[in-house]
Amino acid sequence: MANPATNIDNGLKSSDASRPREPIASPYMPKYPDPMSNISNFKIIESTLREGEQFANAFFDTEKKVEIAKALDAIGVDYLELTSPAASEQSLNDCRVISNLGLKAKILTHTRCHMDDAKLAIDTGVDGLDVVIGTSSYLREFSHGKDMDYITQKAIEVITYIKSKGLEVRFSTEDSFRSDLVDLLSIYKAVDKIGVTRVGIADTVGCANPRQVYELVRTLRSVVSCDIECHFHNDTGCAIANAYAALEAGATHIDTSVLGIGERNGITPLGGLLARMYTADKDYVMNKYDLTQIRDVENIVAESVEVTVPFNNYITGYCAFTHKAGIHAKAILNNPSTYEILNPTDFGMNRYVSIGHRLTGWNAVKNRVEQLNLGLTDDDAKHVTQKIKELADVRPLSLDDVDTLLRTYHQAKDQGLHASILDKIETPDMIAAMNSTPSN
Amino acid sequence: MANPATNIDNGLKSSDASRPREPIASPYMPKYPDPMSNISNFKIIESTLREGEQFANAFFDTEKKVEIAKALDAIGVDYLELTSPAASEQSLNDCRVISNLGLKAKILTHTRCHMDDAKLAIDTGVDGLDVVIGTSSYLREFSHGKDMDYITQKAIEVITYIKSKGLEVRFSTEDSFRSDLVDLLSIYKAVDKIGVTRVGIADTVGCANPRQVYELVRTLRSVVSCDIECHFHNDTGCAIANAYAALEAGATHIDTSVLGIGERNGITPLGGLLARMYTADKDYVMNKYDLTQIRDVENIVAESVEVTVPFNNYITGYCAFTHKAGIHAKAILNNPSTYEILNPTDFGMNRYVSIGHRLTGWNAVKNRVEQLNLGLTDDDAKHVTQKIKELADVRPLSLDDVDTLLRTYHQAKDQGLHASILDKIETPDMIAAMNSTPSN
């Protein structure tokens, strides 16, 4: 359990002050690092087995939860968060089972800020509790008065009890971005004072935007000395960017779920956050997490909740590394970093350059000529490219079609017939026919 | 065509200075508006027919392009951007056809910064040209010197020519966030001086984050007086948030595509951006765009490019308005705005509250009792809820299952047998069997 007192003096307020802050080498980052930023020193609280269970389609039996927990542990996430044992008999049992798996990840369960729930949770063997005030209406509707005092007393009672049992404890509000700021800071200050492990900020409705997040977290960072966890819903498309802004402002922990599954359209997705953080500090991310395992856990979860991995999913979506426009394809073939900030092989994926369409360019076609070892000139490649564009106005060509076109042209050139051979191919279907009846 | 000179004096630099800047009433926004911000005054350049055509699966024939163009025009997007007529014969023809449809949206085509391309484009009848420097390597590799001068001269020649023909012209760089800042500002300043309609910033590789975007656009805003267009790729999940940050910093136009389709995993999605902006200024968005048409155009495009609308898509994903956790369901039934910042009916969608699972709560069940007009007490609802949780640990119950349970309990109560009836139902299958053989 992190001791919040250790961070008071150095002002860094990070959960791992031992990691030195060196100048950032990434070409995509500001030249000089911000001392408040934790983009090179963050932790992931993986909540597929809690927030993810609130996804419309999710129904995980114990066996499936164990499979998902092990797959997430293989990636190296720092924490797994489980549904409250107060939710149902099986939820209680699952907390026990997963706590006993001996995973590297610490196990948390997410409960209401009640003594009953806390006692039930502690007995399951989890490493910590993420407690939350059960409804946002308290903080929105009651400003400074008996109710705030009552909530604060209740929070202190529950937190003190959990700490007395030697467990981590996080205290969070719901809907923090629509709460009264003074109430919010007051209660966080009170729980920080009694040694809460983390405080949590939650954009429960998905309304927050990055500059707002940065300001709130930065303000909170100067009020509490404990760690700061953030939870962002994605209703308006900012869940990854908000997580990033929170880390820039000094947050230490980000909640994620596999494919982002959760209430409504979900929260910050694990894969998407890792793509974002890889861009910010590749070394930190690659040393800490096994990025090649993302696809496996996504497939397990997608199958279990009966969804298709979105075509445009970060990293694993089937077109994430497909390059099409002629100008992109040309540059990618020369130097992938021109149009690619994620190296597909770091994620166990492959790059694909598409060339059989009307937006193709002759450089990409020339590259294919070289791959096929056909020895055509630049002018040859330009002629064939013109033909591809013409045919692809009718329908896109497969790579097989392009190869057939190139081989046919090459063969004709050997026979001195290449000046006229392309004219004879008038439709994409004619190439397809040549594909199925190879001439040699 | 916007006249950049009109905005020089008032410092607002917006494309529609006539719209007054009133205090922002939305509870999710800062109390006092930022005078640089265009979140209440932005325009959409819809690029499904250009960037979207660079999506791996995209192949739009003329008929499909016309269908998509009309559907986008029905939403009310400000501009449609088309593939360069220099790309292929059909691309040239499509520019002519769509320019002649008489749509409310202005028609743009996206070309290289070459005189040949510009001449070809102008003859098609488009309202404007979005010209782009063909490769980012110029701005990255050559700092201050002949090459910069050469590019600037070329840009001035092309822009002057397009303006002389009475068309809008935007000048954009590629990969702006990895370009040399001084070079970038120099060339934008030069083209602004000769009256370019808009300058464009492009995060071609998807590496930018919102605070970086805010800073660059804010800097640029003080260098040029023309409009500022932004284009964001989504490789690391910031395309919507970056668009929002750009508008906050004074950008005027955002590029989108339907479902975000484009190179790799695409760009800022039209639906997601509208969800984001609805949260920021509902009146502006609702008055200007027909949000109920988003689903139709998404279905047209998804079918055409042979993808499934992602389960977690903004607004139209099938779980975007589904509420599940007991505590959420209770609050939503009392007051939807507690957990919902997007009103589904504004988007032609419906809300769904899921109650047949182990995370359910008795308030949600009670609400169903009232919908069914069964007249059970709170204690009754709590008993049935306990039973639902127990059964749903085995498998989730359908709404039919829940209804059967409630009706059975209600009927037993009429007969004075409700104390024991729930004990007799031991498995979900027993309810399912009751479903198929109704007792009355």
- Report pLDDT for B146: 56
Interchain pair A28, B178: CB under 8 A: yes
Neighbours of A370 (CB within 10 A): 12
CATH number at residue B212: 3.20.20.70
Q: For B89-147, how does the pLDDT look when each residue is reduced to its tens digit (9 = 90+)?
A: 999 999 999 999 999 999 999 999 999 999 999 999 999 999 998 656 555 555 445 57
In the structure, what pLDDT confidence band is assigned to residue A30 with cuts at 50, 70 and 90?
Answer: low
Distance from CA of A282 to the nearest CA of B (A): 13
* Domain carrying residue B153: 38-304
Rounded CA gap, B9 and B212, in Å?
27
Q: Which A-chain residues 93-122 have CB contacts (< 8 A) with chain B?
A: none
Q: How far is CA A54 from CA A51, A108, A112, B328, in A?
A: 5, 16, 15, 10
More confident call, A237 vs B59? A237
Whether residue A151 is found in the same domain as residue A288: yes
Average of pLDDT values for A146-152?
78
Q: Is residue B310 part of a domain?
A: no
Whether residue B338 is found in the same domain as residue B213: no
Rounded CA gap, B259 and B266, in Å?
8
The conformation of residue A292, written as its DSSP 8-state character, comes to G
Q: Is residue B22 part of a domain?
A: no
Q: Is A47 on the interface with B (CB under 8 A)?
A: no
Rounded CA gap, B356 and B435, in Å?
15
- Report pLDDT for B250: 97
* Residue type for position A50: R
Q: Name every chain A residue with its beta carbon within 8 A of the beta carbon of B55.
A: 319, 324
Whether residue B297 is found in the same domain as residue B327: no
In the structure, what pLDDT confidence band is assigned to residue A18 with cuts at 50, 70 and 90?
Answer: very low
Task: For chain B, list residues with pLDDT below 50.
Answer: 1-25, 143-144, 437-440
SS3 B373: coil
In the structure, what pLDDT confidence band is assigned to residue A414 with cuts at 50, 70 and 90?
Answer: confident
Q: Name every chain B residue with its beta carbon within 8 A of the beta carbon of A359.
A: 53-54, 83, 87-88
SS3 A239: helix
Q: Name every chain B residue with its beta carbon within 8 A of the beta carbon of A319.
A: 55-57, 264-266
Whether residue B279 is found in the same domain as residue B335: no
Interchain pair A263, B238: CB under 8 A: no
Which helix or strand (DSSP H or E) is residue A170 part of?
Answer: strand A168-172
In B180-260, beta strands by DSSP E? 198-203, 227-232, 253-256
Interchain pair B338, A137: CB under 8 A: yes
Q: Is residue A22 part of a domain?
A: no
Q: Is B26 on the interface with A (CB under 8 A)?
A: no
Q: In chain B, which residue's Cα lies nearest the Cα of A235?
A: B314
Whether residue A288 is found in the same domain as residue A341: no
- Report pLDDT for B18: 42
Interchain pair B341, A205: CB under 8 A: yes
Whether residue A420 is found in the same domain as residue A380: yes
| Among the ranges given (A122-126, A330-334, A346-350, A383-387), the one the predictor scored with the smallest mean pLDDT | A330-334
Angle subtended at Cα B267 by Cα B265 and Cα B270, rounded to the nearest 5 degrees: 120
pLDDT above 90: residue A16: no
Nearest to B88 among A137, A325, A389 (CB): A389
Q: Is residue B213 part of a domain?
A: yes
Nearest to B260 among A244, A275, A312 (CB): A312
Q: Is B55 on the interface with A (CB under 8 A)?
A: yes
More confident call, B174 vs A329? B174
Whether residue A159 is found in the same domain as residue A197: yes
Q: Is residue A314 part of a domain?
A: no
User: What ipTM is given for this predicted complex?
Assistant: 0.85
Which helix or strand (DSSP H or E) is residue B132 part of?
Answer: strand B128-132
Q: Which of B32, B110, B258, B265 to mutate to test the interface with A (most CBs of A within 10 A)?
A: B265
- Report pLDDT for B38: 96
Active site residues of B: 328
Q: Report yes or no: A181 and A189 within 8 Å, Cβ to Cβ.
A: no
Q: Is residue B149 part of a domain?
A: yes
CA atoms within 13 A on the CB side of B191: 37
Q: Is B396 on the interface with A (CB under 8 A)?
A: yes
Whether residue B159 is found in the same domain as residue B199: yes
Q: Which of B49, B55, B235, B346 to mutate to test the interface with A (most CBs of A within 10 A)?
A: B235
Write down which residue in A304, A332, A364 finishes a domain: A304
- Report pLDDT for B251: 98
The conformation of residue B204, written as its DSSP 8-state character, comes to T
Q: Which two tokens stand for residue B284?
A: 């502006």
Interchain pair B211, A211: CB under 8 A: yes
Judged on CB neighbours under 10 Å (0-12, 13-18, 19+), A420 is: exposed
- Report pLDDT for B353: 78
Q: Is residue A9 part of a domain?
A: no
Whether residue A156 is found in the same domain as residue A242: yes
What is the separation, in whole angstroms, between the first and last Cα of chain A? 70
The residue with tokens 């970056």 is B242
Write down which residue in A252, A269, A304 finishes a domain: A304
Q: Is residue A268 part of a domain?
A: yes
**pTM across the whole model:** 0.85
Whether residue A341 is found in the same domain as residue A278: no
Rounded CA gap, B152 and B158, in Å?
10
Q: Report yes or no: B308 and A312 within 8 Å, Cβ to Cβ.
A: no
Q: Which two tokens stand for residue B388?
A: 């639902």
Whether residue A202 is found in the same domain as residue A280: yes
Q: Which two tokens stand for residue A346?
A: 């770091």
Q: Name every chain A residue with its beta carbon within 8 A of the beta carbon of B361.
A: none
- Report pLDDT for A19: 44
The residue with tokens 């923090």 is A176
Q: For A349-370, how does the pLDDT look when each residue is reduced to its tens digit (9 = 90+)?
A: 887 778 888 888 888 888 888 8
Write down which residue in B269, B304, B339 finishes a domain: B304
More confident call, A319 vs B440? A319
Whether residue B286 is found in the same domain as residue B387: no
Catalytic residue among A328, A357, A383, A418: A328
- Report pLDDT for A372: 81
Number of independent structural domains in chain A: 2
